[in-house]
Amino acid sequence: MADKNVLIIGGGVAGLSAAVELANLGIHVELVEKSNFLGGRAIGYACKAIENTCVKCGACMVEEKLQSAVSHSNIKILTGSQVQNISKNHRFTASIQQEPLVIDREKCTNCGLCLDQCPIDRAILQGFSKNNHPFYAVNKERCLYFKDQSCTICKDECPETAIDLEKKASEHTIEADAVLIATGFQPFNPKDKPYGYGRFKNVVTGLELERMLKQSGRVKKPSGNKLLQKIAFIQCVGSRDVKLNHLWCSKVCCGSALRMARLIKERQPETEITFFYMDVQTFGKDFEQFYKEVQENIRMIRAIPGDFYEMDDQRLKVNFVDNPTHETIEEIFDLVVLYVGINPIEDIGTLSRMFKIGPDEFGFLKTDDKGISVSKTGVFTAGTVQGPMSISETIAGAGSAVWKILKYFGE
């Protein structure tokens, strides 16, 4: 197998898992990741263990895969990179465009001085895992140097001279015997829903809440560190929505939100949590017991609220129809968390044309279940690029993609 090379597009948990499995079999892997950091969405998720007892949220598995991938000698990683073209003549030949690597991986010691000294908010980005080296990246959209060259503070202050703001983009050519597309999902953007997302400070998404918990261990109001008494969780934002023609269930959000609500309740027992939902998706074999415990501490309301209003003190007025009485109730919350659904990524059309795999009716890139058509072309898919799934399902699916690749190689 040492003569085989696989190109993996996407460095989330799907791409990382497949890379590690292939690499362990002696296959060379070239992993191309669009963003500056590996780990995909799930590397920003908080561990939801209660009193050191694992609740199987999957967050730690992503870190494990990331750690194994970055230290594996059979895996070559290109971050800030995208496939521009691909052709096949026995093998695949892919041209890759890589953004300038402004922070030198070899020189950077992850000291964080660049972030501390930078005068512009979010001009230096920070990853969620220190296994991502460097742990920092320059955000060209916000950096003053890339706007008008008026600031070089990060470069000047870096004690390791690891920052080169004039670094140019580079091009690479990769030869591969098979390609795995693991480009993941796009969270639904709730800005067009009547929930004030992007306008009201104290309306956040479930993914933003995950990152907040991962970074600081507690929930705070984005408007300021004032008392947090009441949180509303709203499920199915952008999922099972006829008006949007997003009819699918994102499957993972109920489990994720309920585990999160229980974690917050344990860490901040003074906070009251209300959970607005349509139906609760069951998950895992311990679901019944878990759900019973959750209902003792979390107020469950089977309704999806209508419009929200922001009050002068930045709390939120939420209207909903009470299910048994059909009365409209108005209630005030300090923080509202929107559990946004799993959508196909925006450039799914480009990938679909490049690899000649048609998206399914919802826009996800599905492989043939029997693996027939796909295994003949040498192009495979894994993870949420195929549709909603959890971290453990993603890892299992990546394993199955590896098996199909081996079958394609005739092993």
Ligand X SMILES: Cc1cc2nc3c(=O)[nH]c(=O)nc-3n(C[C@H](O)[C@H](O)[C@H](O)COP(=O)(O)OP(=O)(O)OC[C@H]3O[C@@H](n4cnc5c(N)ncnc54)[C@H](O)[C@@H]3O)c2cc1C
Which residue ranges make up the site for ligand X (CB under 6 A)?
9-15, 32-35, 40-42, 45, 57-58, 82, 182-185, 187, 206-207, 252-253, 256, 339-340, 342, 345, 347, 383-384, 389-392, 394
CB of 54 to ligand X, least distance (A): 12
Tokens of 49: 């263990």
Our CB check for ligand X shows the closer of 187 and 378 to be 187
Our CB check for ligand X shows the closer of 64 and 164 to be 64
CB of 79 to ligand X, least distance (A): 9
Q: CB atoms < 10 A from the CB of 319, how many? A: 15
Q: Quick check: 230 and 272 in contact, CB under 8 A?
A: yes
CB of 339 to ligand X, least distance (A): 5
Our CB check for ligand X shows the closer of 41 and 265 to be 41
> Cβ-count burial of 106 within 10 angstroms (0-12 exposed, 13-18 middle, 19+ buried)?
exposed
Phi, psi of 65 (to 5 degrees): -65, -40
CA distances in angstroms from 192 to 195, 221, 238, 310, listed in the order given: 8, 22, 10, 16
CB of 226 to ligand X, least distance (A): 25
DSSP 8-state assignment for residue 314: S
Our CB check for ligand X shows the closer of 91 and 211 to be 211
CB of 170 to ligand X, least distance (A): 16
CB of 391 to ligand X, least distance (A): 3
Element (H, E) at 257: helix 253-267
Our CB check for ligand X shows the closer of 41 and 315 to be 41
DSSP E strand boundaries for 184-321: 185-187, 203-205, 230-237, 272-276, 299-301, 308-310, 316-321
Q: Quick check: 351 and 32 in contact, CB under 8 A?
A: no
Our CB check for ligand X shows the closer of 99 and 151 to be 99
